[in-house]
């Protein structure tokens, strides 16, 4: 699969097109839900001399410009994704921390309607589904003691 050229996206957002911005967009696009350190490592493969601060600055600028989305599930570091043009939510595994996209299940954007919006013009509803992914569930099932239906592991 060919990498997406984000030159026009960056320019259309009113930002100057730079190698670090292109590299960060490519890294986030290639690694959805990547944390900052993973983005930094991917960018340094292409631009070995780029500083940590430059990557932080680019992530901030791209987020502010609406080109990437930052999510931060409770207890996790910030994660970044390029899937911004739709109204989707996230599944987070409580065991391994895996994050997956899940499409909105109810209604039009913002997907959920508040009973009382208190005068707010709501444009987004952020929902995070917490649970255990299939791999961790299978691992947990195989490590349970036979006489322990509560799930304590050996």
pLDDT tens digits, 79-99: 999 998 777 888 999 999 899
Task: Identify which of 25, 62, 22, 23 has the alpha carbon closest to the alpha carbon of residue 43.
Answer: 23
Task: Identify which of 66, 122, 71 has the alpha carbon closest to the alpha carbon of residue 97.
Answer: 71
Domains defined for the chain, CATH in brackets: 7-71 (1.10.10.10), 86-143 (3.30.1490.190)
The residue written with tokens 């691992």 in the block is: 139
**Helix/strand/coil (H, E, C) string of the chain?**
CCCCCCHHHHHHCCCCCCHHHHHHHHHHHHCCCEEHHHHHHHHHHHCCCCCHHHHHHHHHHHHHCCCCEEECCCCCCCEEECCCCCCEEEEEECCCCCEEEEECCCCCCCCCCCCCCCCCCCCCCCCEEEECCHHHHHHHHHHECCCCCCCCEC
Cβ(33)–Cβ(70) below 8 Å: no
Binding residue ranges: 93, 96, 108, 133, 136
Q: Is the pLDDT of residue 77 over 80?
A: yes
pTM of the model: 0.76
ω into 110 cis (within 30 of 0) = yes
Binding residue ranges for Zn(2+): 93, 96, 133, 136
pLDDT band at 148; cut points 50, 70, 90: very low
pLDDT tens digits, 23-73: 999 999 999 999 999 999 999 999 999 999 999 999 999 999 999 999 998
Instruction: Classify the C-alpha dihedral 102-104-106-110 as positive or negative.
Output: positive
- Does residue 152 or residue 35 have the better pLDDT? 35
Binding residue ranges for Fe cation: 108
Q: Is the pLDDT of residue 110 over 70?
A: no
């Amino acid at each position: 699969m060919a990498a997406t050229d984000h030159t026009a996206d960056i320019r259309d957002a009113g930002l100057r097109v730079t190698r670090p911005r292109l590299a960060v967009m490519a890294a986030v696009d290639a690694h959805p839900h990547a944390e900052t350190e993973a983005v930094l490592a991917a960018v340094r493969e292409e631009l070995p001399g780029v500083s940590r601060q430059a990557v932080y600055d680019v992530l901030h600028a791209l987020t502010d410009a609406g080109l990437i989305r930052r999510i931060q599930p409770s207890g996790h570091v910030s994660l970044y994704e390029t899937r911004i043009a739709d109204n989707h939510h996230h599944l987070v595994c409580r065991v391994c921390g895996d994050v997956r996209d899940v499409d909105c299940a109810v209604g039009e954007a913002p997907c959920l309607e508040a009973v009382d919006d208190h005068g707010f013009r709501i444009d987004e509803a952020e929902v995070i589904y917490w649970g255990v992914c299939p791999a961790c569930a299978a691992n947990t099932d195989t490590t349970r003691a036979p006489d322990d239906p509560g799930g304590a592991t050996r």
